[in-house]
Structure 1
Amino acid sequence: MKPHLCLLALLLTASACKKEKTELEKLPDATQTGSGAGAFLLDGQAWLPDDSKTINIGGSGGGGYLAKWRRTKTGCSLSLTFSKYSDRTGLNIYLPDVRKTGTFQFDQQASIMLGDRNPAYGLFSMNKSVSIPRLFLTGPTATGTLTITRFDTVAHIVSGTFEMTVKEETGPETHQITHGRFDYPF
């Protein structure tokens, strides 16, 4: 009888040892296939776009992401959008002129009013209430980088990684966005 109890105890112990995923392990793998995956850590917590409810106007994407590459007066701009309808937050990344892989700095003042004439920037928004959304931007005191590791204008795929600090537009609050990754069709 004792061998059966030992075996049962061993099985129960083994099944109880399921390892919880770390926040970093909750993010999708960094790929370069146009999979539509993209996510990041927001203040150390996994932030993943929703799988649905994305409004897609003029770009490729769905399921919480959008990538748009288009000609402007200043070059060929790239816009990346990550949206999370469930908690009404989102991240927009704008690069004014992208023609190849490389690293782009977020260290200049951006203004929504400048449109296509903006420098590269990241903008995190929180719309948790019906009132005006809270906006957090990169700039001279809240910097970051984005590295494009694949930029394929034939297959229409853009992939890469990013990290940034975003500061509230009208206050001192900041947030850390780390381990960002994206693999979007455009």
Structure 2
Amino acid sequence: MKLLPLLLLLLTASACKKEKTELEKLPDASQTGSGAGAFLLDGQAWLPDESSTINFGGGGSGFLAQWRRTKTGRSLELTFSRYSDRTGLNIFLPDVRRTGTFAFNQQAQVLLDHSPAYGLYFMTKSLTVPRSFLTGPTATGTLTVTRFDTVAHIVSGTFDMTVQEQNGSETHHLTHGRFDYPF
């Protein structure tokens, strides 16, 4: 009978699980081409859909990375998409040939291959007009490519940025961003 209180105490202690923080919900920063990518959106974990067969980038899951030749160099485009709520993030770097840090601090020319680097967060769910939020002179950020392997076709890195609504003043903060994509 003396063991019963001790057993109850052990069961109670083991049943209490610590809830993950928002940052702990993000995948670990890695450099293996795992296909992981996520960020905190205004302090809340934002992870792309992994099981969706439809996404904004045309791939089979919530991420896509493309490295292609343009008039100004070798651009890198990263897409994070979440079909479940029709939100996503596009990142464009105009000329990537090695690791390094890229600034998001110039006016984006979204439809042009010769645009400066930018981040574009978008929301389209149940809206008649999609909302777009961009980096630029008043909403800045950085992206650091920590692995750029053209043989294994892997790009990895981290980012933090503020995006401001196109034609508006609403802003969002994307922090602790990380990606590890095959391209």
Bin the TM-score by the shorter chain. Answer: over 0.9
Q: Is the 8 A contact 1:65 1:80 kept in 2?
A: yes
Segments of 5+ residues of structure 2 without an aligned counterpart are: none
Q: Is the 8 A contact 2:109 2:116 kept in 1?
A: no
| One-letter code aligned to 1:110 | A
User: 1:123 is matched with which residue: 120, 131, 142?
Assistant: 120
What CA distance in whole angstroms lies between the structure 2 residues aligned with 1:91 and 1:164? 11
Residue 159 (str. 1) matches residue 156 (str. 2): yes
Residue 40 (str. 1) matches residue 39 (str. 2): yes
What CA distance in whole angstroms lies between the structure 2 residues aligned with 1:129 and 1:169? 18
SS at match of 2:113: helix
The total of aligned residue pairs comes to 181
What CA distance in whole angstroms lies between the structure 1 residues aligned with 2:168 and 2:152? 42
SS at match of 1:77: strand
Percent identity of the aligned residues?
A: 77
C-alpha offsets along residues 107-129 of structure 1, whole Å, 9 cap, x if unaligned?
0001324x101100000001121
Segments of 5+ residues of structure 1 without an aligned counterpart are: none
Runs of 4+ off more than 2 Å: 53-57
SS at match of 2:160: strand
Q: What is the match of residue 76 of structure 1? A: 74
RMSD of aligned Cα (Å): 1.3
User: 2:130 is matched with which residue: 129, 133, 150?
Assistant: 133
| TM-score normalized by the length of structure 2 | 0.95
Q: What displacement does 1:5 show?
A: 2.6
Q: Is the 8 A contact 2:106 2:117 kept in 1?
A: yes
Q: Is the 8 A contact 1:54 1:65 kept in 2?
A: no
| One-letter code aligned to 1:144 | G
